[in-house]
């Protein structure tokens, strides 16, 4: 249908509107119908008490099912049935973050009210990079900055926080600030400018893959990444790190940035931050701490001491969408010194930035951020903090750490399980070791166990390779998980191991299949 010209006869002005058939797609009636339907589905999901992991489907099958749900018409209408089918398919294929069987990943269930607000902010957007467009989003940044500054112990007004969509982006942004500060002229001239020695970044052996990518992204080069060795608790060992960095300097490398972890992805280990801060200082290097996972300990009086030394970092980030239970993505990136955030991207374009800084420009985040259009995800955190206060976050986090410790104690008592690392956080690694199995076959068994447990659909575990040994790994993100769930999961592992080994012996001991999976 062509555009209509509507004449408003009741007014002295002639008003033209251009309505098309697609207009009905944006109508309020359909919004209400869809919203009510979705809320019912989600309320059901939240009240379910099934122990369930994930229902994996073969990609070809899922593709066919999804394709069959796509309208054949050039312009479809709202079809409640089709909408319900799509909702169902979405929920069916997802990880069950609210289930007690969900143990494998760092993705979190969210405080339901934040998910409601997520819909509000999608419908009535406040793109957070510009004050004009995202007023409350930019103010919420400042308020959350203030709250966390108190926990870190930094004087108000002396530091700075920006939000990013994910810790991967936060780590990269902080490393850019480090590069621009320590290798002057590099933003305009590139790395060849003013570099007598080759710039290098030092990271721990267990650093997250987003950290090991940074050197490639910001022009340092993977060959200039120095891997620092770990101690028995898989924390960077400061003495050996010092020797290695000294050696690198002698060989003509300039280690301008050291990236430590507070909560490694593999086992949740916290690096010794005071010692690493001293080491960074000694070499004039920037210290960034990837506290994506454990940074949230800041909100808990009980857990905060585990982050001792974080206040010495030049920058650090934490993922509120993991351990502060708000929708993804919501990452807080802190700089110890105010004014540093805008040195990440020292460039100002006229269609975005006015020539004169006014009070509004002073609080807007665009100049400090990689993203242009940006979800105001900080508002979910601010909303929940405003409604519930600190304890709502701290209590759940403390509970998760407590159950993980109980799971560790439980496995210690099981003769056929090995638990090599006492958990610092809510991540626990273990190996199921039936008698007589070691080396490669033990590793292959863990991988096959992960696959079989996942395929059975009750529990979702992950796996990790550490020191050449494949281990099973759980991340407890759901505070309803209890010891009986841990015991149930262990029993299921034993049962699968029994089946596998029996099958092996009848088949004459073929090698178990080996697979790969991405990191979190």
Ligand X SMILES: *Cc1c(COP(=O)(O)O)cnc(C)c1O
Q: Is 150 in contact with 311 (CB distance < 8 Å)?
A: no
At its nearest, how many Å lie between ligand X and the CB of residue 228?
A: 15
The interaxial angle of helices 28-47 and 80-93, nearest 10 deg, is: 30
Do the strands 462-466 and 469-475 form a parallel or antiparallel pair, or are they unpaired?
antiparallel
Residue 319: CB atoms within 10 Å: 28
Nearest residue (CB) to ligand X, 253 versus 328? 328
- Torsional sign, CA 45, 48, 49, 51: negative
Nearest residue (CB) to ligand X, 254 versus 426? 426
Nearest residue (CB) to ligand X, 224 versus 331? 331
* DSSP 8-state secondary structure symbol assigned to residue 344: S
Strand partners, 225: 201
At its nearest, how many Å lie between ligand X and the CB of residue 316?
A: 11
Q: Which of 98, 114, 154, 213 is nearest to 460 (CA)?
A: 98
The closest residue (CB) to ligand X is 166
At its nearest, how many Å lie between ligand X and the CB of residue 323?
A: 9
* DSSP 8-state secondary structure symbol assigned to residue 305: G
Nearest residue (CB) to ligand X, 180 versus 261? 261
Residues in touch with ligand X (CB under 6 A): 106, 166-168, 208, 210, 261, 263, 265, 290, 292-293, 319, 329, 331, 520
Nearest residue (CB) to ligand X, 175 versus 292? 292
At its nearest, how many Å lie between ligand X and the CB of residue 473?
A: 12
At its nearest, how many Å lie between ligand X and the CB of residue 290?
A: 5
**Could you give the C-alpha distances from 457 to 53, 87, 237, 408, 450, in angstroms and in order?**
5, 20, 39, 23, 11
Q: What is the rounded distance in angstroms from the CA atom of residue 318 to the CA atom of residue 330?
A: 9
At its nearest, how many Å lie between ligand X and the CB of residue 350?
A: 31
Nearest residue (CB) to ligand X, 292 versus 477? 292
At its nearest, how many Å lie between ligand X and the CB of residue 293?
A: 4
Question: Judging by beta carbons within 10 Å of its beta carbon (0-12, 13-18, 19+), is residue 331 exposed, middle or buried?
Answer: buried
Nearest residue (CB) to ligand X, 168 versus 365? 168
Q: Which of 375, 271, 269 is nearest to 320 (CA)?
A: 375
């Amino acid at each position: 249908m062509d555009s209509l010209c509507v004449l408003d006869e009741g007014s002295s002005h002639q008003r033209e509107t251009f309505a098309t058939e697609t207009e009905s797609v944006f109508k309020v009636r359909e919004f209400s119908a869809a919203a009510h339907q979705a809320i019912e589905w989600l309320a059901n999901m939240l009240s379910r008490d099934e122990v369930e992991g994930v229902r994996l489907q073969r990609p070809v099958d899922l593709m066919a099912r999804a394709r069959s749900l796509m309208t054949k018409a050039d312009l479809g209408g709202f079809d409640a049935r089709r909408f319900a089918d799509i909702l169902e398919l979405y929920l069916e294929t997802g990880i069950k973050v609210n289930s007690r069987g969900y143990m494998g990943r760092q993705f979190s269930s969210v405080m339901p009210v934040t998910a409601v607000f997520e819909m509000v902010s999608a419908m009535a957007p406040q793109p957070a990079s510009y004050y004009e467009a995202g007023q409350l989003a930019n103010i919420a940044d400042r308020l959350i900055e203030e709250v966390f500054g108190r926990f870190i112990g930094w004087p108000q007004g002396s530091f700075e926080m920006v939000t990013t969509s994910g810790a991967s982006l936060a780590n990269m942004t902080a490393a850019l600030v480090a590069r621009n500060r320590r290798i002057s002229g590099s933003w305009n001239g590139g790395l060849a400018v003013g570099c007598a020695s080759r710039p290098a970044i030092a990271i721990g052996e267990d650093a997250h893959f987003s950290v090991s990518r940074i050197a490639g992204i910001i022009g340092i080069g993977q060959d200039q990444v120095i891997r620092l060795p770990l101690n028995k608790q898989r924390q960077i060992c400061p003495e050996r790190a010092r020797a290695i960095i000294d050696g690198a300097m002698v060989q003509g490398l300039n280690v301008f940035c050291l990236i430590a972890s507070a909560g490694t992805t593999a086992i949740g280990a916290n690096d010794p931050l005071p010692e690493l801060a001293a080491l960074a200082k000694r070499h004039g290097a920037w210290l960034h701490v990837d506290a994506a996972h454990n940074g949230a300990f800041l909100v808990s009086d009980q857990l905060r001491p585990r982050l001792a030394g974080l206040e010495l970092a030049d920058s650090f980030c934490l993922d509120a969408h993991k351990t502060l239970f708000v929708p993804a993505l919501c990452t807080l990136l802190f700089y110890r010194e105010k004014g540093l955030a805008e040195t990440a991207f020292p460039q100002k374009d006229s269609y975005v930035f006015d020539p004169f800084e006014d009070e509004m420009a002073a609080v807007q985040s665009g100049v400090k951020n990689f993203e242009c259009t940006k979800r105001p995800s900080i508002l979910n955190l601010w909303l929940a903090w405003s409604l519930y206060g600190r304890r709502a976050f701290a209590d759940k986090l403390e509970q998760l750490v407590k159950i993980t410790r109980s799971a560790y104690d439980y496995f210690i008592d099981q003769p056929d399980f090995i638990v090599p690392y006492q958990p610092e956080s809510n991540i626990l690694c273990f190996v199921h070791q039936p008698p007589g199995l070691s080396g490669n076959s033990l590793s292959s068994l863990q991988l096959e166990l992960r696959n079989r447990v996942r395929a059975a659909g009750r529990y979702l575990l992950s796996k990790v390779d550490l020191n050449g040994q494949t281990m099973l790994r759980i991340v407890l993100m759901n505070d309803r998980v209890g010891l009986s769930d841990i015991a149930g999961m262990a029993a299921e592992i034993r049962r699968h191991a029994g089946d596998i080994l029996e099958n092996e012996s009848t088949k004459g001991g073929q090698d178990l299949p080996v697979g790969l999976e991405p990191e979190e």
